[in-house]
Structure 1
Amino acid sequence: MALKSIIYKADLSISDMDRNYYAEHNLTIARHPSETDERMMVRVLAFAIHASETLTFAKGLSDVEEPDLWQKDYTEAIQLWVEAGQPDDRRLLKACGRSEKVVVYSYSSTSDIWWKQMNSRLDRAKNLKVMNVPAATSAALEKLAQRNMQLQCTIQDGQIWLTAGEESVQIDLETFKAEG
């Protein structure tokens, strides 16, 4: 018998002063049986950074043809493809061909090694952006994970804070590859 996804709920309040985006999102997050709380929280962080009315969680680990998050326009064309982790170059190049913009959020202590292997293979992907969440930060995000979460995300001048109750995590992303 296959293991089922665990359902998490998050009330996410976003104040993104860099984009002038202020909204409340009630998220239902299916955590794949093989997924860790750390990876799930990186997906929530990615949602907060790119939040819009049309951004949705996709099947991710459950379907190789879908990312972790995506944003489509009204014609079903993919505008934004978001991956968490360390996807291989073939997957990313295919995503770059299917979407206007692709963003990867790497979060492992081995991210530097992964990126050194991927960098030259992904040079030609002009619509790809690769960000790294430092390992200590992703570990701190993991501690915020609960089945029912009340989260606040504040983004200002490139600084990101994610807060749950009394716990707050400052996220300083590292840019491995900028778009263009």
Structure 2
Amino acid sequence: MAIGATIHTFEVQLADVDRGVYEDLSLRVAKHPSETDPFMMTRLLAYCLEHEEGIAFGAGGVSSTEEPAVLVRDLTGRITTWIEVGAPDAQRLHFGSKLADRAVVYTHRDPSRLLASWRGKPIHSIGDIPLRSFDPGFIDAAVAQLERRNAMTVSVIEGQLYLELGGTALNTGIHEHRLE
């Protein structure tokens, strides 16, 4: 018998001052058995930091080859924003950046290693794809607060992310890297 996904629920108060996005979100996040907690936390933060009309978690999460971890669709169903999480390979990023109007990557890994893995490989519009990362240790500290049911506050002010989760307040810079 296959092991199913574990469902985590998040009641999120989102205040992204930088983008003018203020929302109360009730999210059910399915954690695939092969998905790590840091990947799931980064996927959740990517969803919050990219939140707009039409955003959704990808249908297959880490197991999908057809969709990214998070995506934005327009009213016709076309993918307009391809949001990868973790360490996508160059071919997958190339595919997503050609398919959508915009692509972005959020990583919980060492961004310099990820950029080095893409160097010299064909990726459509690579100079327009931001790679976003967080301060070392931030994702691990957030993961340590995870429960199956979570109340979370996410605030973004001048490129700083303030997170309250499980009664613990954390903060990090949102770092942007690009491969030219």
Q: Is the 8 A contact 1:96 1:127 kept in 2?
A: no
Take 1:41 and 1:124, find their aligned partners in 2: how far apart are those partners? 27
Letter of the 2:75 counterpart: Y
Q: Is the 8 A contact 2:153 2:163 kept in 1?
A: yes
Shift of 1:43: 0.9
Aligned residues: 178
Identity of aligned residues (%): 26
Q: State the SS of the aligned residue for 1:173.
A: strand
Q: Does 1:35 align with 2:48?
A: no
Q: Is the 8 A contact 2:7 2:148 kept in 1?
A: yes
Q: Is the 8 A contact 1:100 1:127 kept in 2?
A: no
Letter of the 1:73 counterpart: D
Q: Is the 8 A contact 1:80 1:100 kept in 2?
A: yes
Aligned match of 1:70:
71
Q: Unmatched 5+ residue regions in structure 1?
A: none
Letter of the 1:154 counterpart: S
Q: Normalized against structure 2, the TM-score is what?
A: 0.91
Aligned match of 1:26:
26
Q: Is the 8 A contact 1:55 1:71 kept in 2?
A: yes
- Residues 41-71 of structure 1, C-alpha deviation per residue, up to 9 Å, x if partnerless? 1111111111123211112212111111111
Take 1:22 and 1:173, find their aligned partners in 2: how far apart are those partners? 18
Q: Is the 8 A contact 1:12 1:153 kept in 2?
A: yes
Aligned match of 1:160:
161
Shift of 1:104: 0.6
Q: Is the 8 A contact 2:145 2:166 kept in 1?
A: no
Structure 1, 116-125 or 78-87: larger mean CA deviation: 116-125
Structure 1, 112-121 or 141-150: larger mean CA deviation: 112-121
Aligned match of 1:105:
106
Take 2:80 and 2:49, find their aligned partners in 1: how far apart are those partners? 15
Q: Does 1:175 align with 2:160?
A: no
- Residues 83-111 of structure 1, C-alpha deviation per residue, up to 9 Å, x if partnerless? 11101000000001111111111212x43
Shift of 1:171: 2.0
